[in-house]
Amino acid sequence: MSAPLINVDHLRELLYRLKYMNLNATHEETFENVQKDSLPAFLPNHSPQFDRAEENLLMSPGYPESVESLQCISRKVFVGGLPQDISKSSLLQKFCAYGQVRLDFPSEPTHPPRTRKADRRLSTSGYVFLIYETEEAVFNLLKACSFRDGSYFLPFHEDSMNVKLAQVRPWQLASITYIPNIDAMIDTRLTVFIGGVPRPLTSGELAALLEQNYGPLLYCEIDVDPELFYPKGAARAVFASYSSYVKAIRSRYLHIPNVEFNKRTVEIKPYTMDEILCDECLEAAATHFCRVCMQYYCEACSIRMDHSVGSHLDVITPAAKSPTEHDFDLPNNLLERLAECSI
């Protein structure tokens, strides 16, 4: 089955609602109904573009049955399962056959290799990222691969007798967002930030893990760089109920049961935005969050609560605010690229 298409108008509308909805709601206003674990209300259809046609739902796809069914892909490609003793020069010779390419290793050496032995150690991690100059080059690579059980494989000859299959994982731009219901009312205060996400992991795969462990999601987005539209190792997700949100925040870490990724644990933190007010004084901007009482505090209130009530000793200070953690907008050029692909 080919990947469902993304409707750009739907995506723009949802991102607008994510950015401006409930940002200054008080703790009581935000959670007055979710204590009963009721699902958020649904918005009425505003126009014909909000139909429920399956092809317009923003679902993270599985892998396509053929290269031709791929539409928008990143110029950056993950290749795993490489022979342990293969050299950088051999890899470059292998992959430049499909187009001009640059190799991005997980841990580049600070000094250039001086010997053939040092050159061979570059690939001991078993995987590499390819950065091609054009999308056409990526398609050329995929056409050279065999396709089996939803994955692409490229043969490497270890010696005259043995052949090792390396997995090639293209990144589809449709894998950036997972939205099971476009009409769902999103509450930004039920949002978590997820750090240390393995970069080949799609939004749909991450959403499945979160839902399995904590409960239903309304939105999941993989953070991507604005040039290559490839994952940067972070994500954010919005839960459908307060209890699921609390469970996720208090767990703090989530194990990823997949031997394909070297990093198997992600960190879950509260997703804080500049506009959120202190739940105690309802005046100053929140700067702290407590995992125990699940409330936001300004600097003054956090100090007072920390010294007066023992249960507030777990107050945490979110990391320095950055676009990675605190910006819900997808890059404009990504939306334009999706439109160009008629997604």
Domain 67-173, CATH: 3.30.70.330
Averaged pLDDT for residues 253-282: 79
Rounded CA gap, 178 and 185, in Å?
Answer: 15
In this structure, of 118-132, 297-311, 318-332, the range with the lowest mean pLDDT score is 318-332
Q: How far is CA 132 from the centre of its chain?
A: 22
pLDDT of residue 224: 92
Q: Which positions ≥6 away from 134 have C-beta within 8 Å?
A: 75, 99, 100
Q: pLDDT tens digits, residue range 138-184?
A: 999 999 999 988 889 999 876 667 888 999 999 998 889 998 888 88
pLDDT at 19 > cutoff 90 = no
Does residue 72 contact residue 3 with C-beta atoms inside 8 Å? no
Rounded CA gap, 248 and 265, in Å?
Answer: 14
pLDDT of residue 51: 32
Residues forming beta bridges with residue 76, ordered by sequence position: 131
* Domain spanning 8-59+179-274, CATH class: alpha beta
Is the backbone of residue 74 left (phi > 0), alpha (psi -120 to 50) or beta? beta
Residue with tokens 């089996």: 148
Q: pLDDT tens digits, residue range 72-95?
A: 899 999 999 898 888 899 999 999
Does residue 130 contact residue 76 with C-beta atoms inside 8 Å? yes
pLDDT of residue 138: 95
Residue 322 CB coordination number (10 Å):
9
Rounded CA gap, 223 and 331, in Å?
Answer: 10
Residue 113 CB coordination number (10 Å):
15
Q: Give the residue extent of every domain in the chain.
A: 8-59+179-274, 67-173
Is there a shared CATH topology between the 8-59+179-274 domain and the 67-173 domain? yes
pLDDT of residue 188: 80
Rounded CA gap, 197 and 223, in Å?
Answer: 10
Rounded CA gap, 104 and 27, in Å?
Answer: 45
Could you list the beta-strand ranges (E) of the chain: 73-80, 101-104, 127-132, 146-148, 151-157, 163-172, 177-178, 191-195, 217-224, 231-239, 253-255, 265-270, 288-290, 295-297, 315-316
pLDDT at 10 > cutoff 50 = yes
pLDDT of residue 65: 47
pLDDT at 266 > cutoff 50 = yes
